[in-house]
Amino acid sequence: MSSWPSLALARIKAGERLVLCSVALAKGSTPRTAGTAMLFSQTEQWLTIGGGHLEWVAAEQARVMLGQPSGPGWSMSRLPLGPSLGQCCGGVVTLLYETLGEEDLSWLQELDSAVRAGQATSRRSQLLSDGNKQVDIQSPSIVDESRLDYDGTQGVWMEDLPPPPLTILLFGAGHVGEALVQILGTLPCRVLWIDERPELFPDQVPSNVSLEITDIPDALIEQAPTNSYFLVMTHNHGLDLALCQKILRRPDTAYVGLIGSMTKRRQFERRLQQRGMPESRIQELVCPIGVSGIKGKAPSIIAVAVAAELLAHAYEMGQLSR
């Protein structure tokens, strides 16, 4: 999903005024679909609506609005693409511009909190004839993709923001980790693959996989988004235990999985109890991992079972839409 809510909130808290530029309507061949958005300040810009001369025109309009503090809070422009704009596309886009400032902090904070919690969210904006707008944040049951719809009879724009993609932190670059990454690379998720041994990582990984070479992963655990998925499968039982302890201290994890047998689980339960881990958190630890009924021990078979378990859990939690 677009990350504009958190970006906007941070910049406005820093004292800046912004313009949110959204593709409101897209007809024919266009570089981005309706719902794509970017942000402008007087001197900077973030994200993209397609690049090229289209963004230059958008930036010019945004900065005109920012130069008029008492001007209207929104405007629209219809732009045919093609030779006149130096774009290779031949469709038509309608851009919606909205100024954002301190007066918008309340609903921006509500929107950003919902996004960070992994919730599907809708922003209902009624554009008023005096140039102002009324914004209401709603929580629909399912949102599949970012989109922006217009109800012309009511003068209302409804922007849908899907939950962010699943974030999976995978500790361990062994054979199972490598097999699992190849499967996760085909799924709607973002993977952070972590190990201290750079020589174990393959030369190429899927585009949704990032490598982190470190022997001190504490900061990665602390900085992971709410409702992240954690998979612990390192080469060292002591490291596995330390990671599980650190991860289970977080109350907002979606899934904490540890590779190993029931014997390993019982050992870890005892050690976590000795270290003061609440029983409720210990019971959140999934070990063994993988859907039941798959008995093979080959890395590829384990990887399939684990990926299936992650998907089932994500669907059950509503983090993936059917």
Q: For every one of its 322 residues, what pLDDT tens digit does the chain have, with 9 covering 90 and above?
A: 446 887 899 899 999 999 999 988 888 888 778 888 899 999 999 888 887 888 999 999 999 999 997 778 889 898 887 655 555 566 888 899 999 999 999 999 998 887 766 677 888 888 887 778 889 888 765 555 667 777 766 678 888 877 666 899 999 999 999 999 999 998 888 899 999 999 999 999 988 898 999 888 888 898 888 889 999 999 999 999 999 999 999 998 999 999 999 999 999 999 999 999 999 999 999 999 999 999 889 999 999 999 999 999 998 887 776 5
Q: Tell me what pLDDT residue 142 has.
A: 55
Cβ(94)–Cβ(152) below 8 Å: no
* Per-residue model confidence as pLDDT tens digits over 186-232: 888 889 999 999 999 999 998 889 899 988 888 889 888 888 999 99
The structure's pTM equals 0.57
Where are any strands of DSSP class E within 81-217?
Answer: 92-100, 121-127, 133-138, 147-151, 156-161, 166-171, 189-195, 209-213
Q: Tell me what pLDDT residue 129 has.
A: 78
**3-state secondary structure (DSSP) of residue 178:** helix
Count the alpha carbons within 13 Å of 131 in the hemisphere toward its beta carbon: 10
Q: Tell me what pLDDT residue 267 has.
A: 97
Length of the chain as a residue count: 322
Number of neighbouring beta carbons within 10 Å of residue 238: 9
Token pair belonging to 61: 């309009």
Q: What is the DSSP string of 37-84?
A: EEEE-SS-EEE-SS-HHHHHHHHHHHHHHHT-TTS-SEEEEEEE-SGG
**3-state secondary structure (DSSP) of residue 309:** helix
Rg (CA), the chain: 23
- Most distant CA pair in the chain: distance in Å? 71
Q: What is the DSSP letter of 125?
A: E
Percent of the chain with pLDDT over 90: 51
The CATH architecture assigned to 166-317 reads 3-Layer(aba) Sandwich (3.40)
Instruction: Match 């504009």 to its residue by tokens.
Output: 4
C-alpha span between 116 and 134 (Å, rounded): 23
Token pair belonging to 223: 């900085």
Instruction: Match 């945004």 to its residue by tokens.
Output: 62
Between the CA of residue 317 and those of 119, 220, 263, what are the distances in Å? 10, 23, 29
- Domain edges within the chain: 4-161, 166-317
